[in-house]
């Protein structure tokens, strides 16, 4: 019986050490601020990068991440440069389709539809954000965990969607013929164990 306390104490200490030893998710830049390394231009889109900003100049298509992403938190600042601007952020996108992926999940950056969720052309969640003037920066925080997708706009939660599929895909910036800028793209990769909704 005298051995129980030391053994129990050692087990509790090991458990506490194991719990604190788990690696924390790290937030890293998705854009290096100076060039488009780590990105691939698709279709006729024209993008460039200078001074910490990705410039969408013209064309129809998209700029996609080289890497495939599953569960993540993505933050990005964006702004349209002309009245009537229109673009979007793609999540878990595939490669099939022209000029954009087929049935892609898009979070809209359209001036009259900021934050809308679309699956291909189908609008699933309407915008609850008033139009923002051209030239004004907007911040999106996009979180994908398993089948759950959550959007916050300028620090305020906009919506949660519960049927996101597939489990992985590319992150993309849509080109729809309107000039845009994107900056401060940061991603936190979340492990598969974080996929369950809670």
pLDDT digits 0-9 by tens, 78-127: 999 999 999 999 999 999 999 999 999 999 999 999 999 999 999 999 99
d(CA 198, CA 47): 38
Tell me the pLDDT of the chain averaged across its residues.
89
d(CA 51, CA 61): 23
d(CA 9, CA 45): 62
Tokens in use for 183? 């900056």
Cross-strand bridge partners of residue 119: 105, 122
d(CA 50, CA 46): 14
From residue 158, how far is each of 49, 68, 79, 115 by CA, in Å?
A: 29, 25, 18, 8
Tokens in use for 49? 């990068």
d(CA 152, CA 140): 6
pLDDT digits 0-9 by tens, 12-47: 443 443 344 445 689 999 999 999 999 999 999 999
d(CA 34, CA 74): 19
Domains detected in the chain: 27-194 (2.60.120.560)
pLDDT at 194 over 70: no
pLDDT digits 0-9 by tens, 49-60: 999 999 999 999
DSSP state of 169: B
d(CA 96, CA 109): 22
3-state secondary structure 6-74: HHHHHHHHHHHHHHHCCCCCCEEECCCCCCCCCEEEEECCEEEEECCEEEEEECEEEEEECCCECEEEE
Cross-strand bridge partners of residue 89: 107, 173
Tokens in use for 64? 């996609």
Contact 89/109 with Cβ under 8 angstroms? yes
pLDDT digits 0-9 by tens, 145-179: 999 999 999 999 999 999 999 999 999 999 999 99
The pLDDT-based confidence of 192 (bands split at 50, 70, 90) is confident
């Amino acid at each position: 019986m005298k051995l129980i306390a030391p053994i129990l104490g050692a087990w509790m200490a090991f458990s506490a050490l194991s719990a604190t030893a788990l690696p924390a998710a790290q937030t890293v830049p998705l854009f290096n601020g100076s060039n488009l390394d780590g990105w691939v231009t698709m279709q006729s889109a024209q993008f460039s990068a200078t001074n910490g900003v990705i410039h969408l100049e013209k064309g129809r298509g998209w700029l996609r991440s080289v890497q495939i992403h599953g569960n993540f938190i993505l933050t990005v600042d964006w702004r349209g440069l002309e009245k009537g601007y229109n673009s979007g952020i793609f999540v878990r996108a595939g490669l099939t389709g022209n000029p954009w992926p087929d049935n892609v999940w898009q979070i809209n950056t359209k001036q009259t539809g900021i934050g809308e969720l679309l699956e291909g052309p189908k609008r699933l969640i309407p915008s609850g954000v008033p139009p923002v003037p051209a030239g004004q920066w907007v911040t999106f925080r996009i979180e994908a965990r398993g089948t759950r997708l959550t959007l916050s706009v300028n620090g305020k939660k906009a919506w949660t969607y519960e049927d996101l599929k597939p489990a992985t895909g590319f992150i993309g910036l849509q080109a729809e013929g309107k000039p845009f800028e994107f900056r401060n793209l940061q991603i936190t990769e979340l492990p598969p164990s974080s996929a369950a909704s809670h």
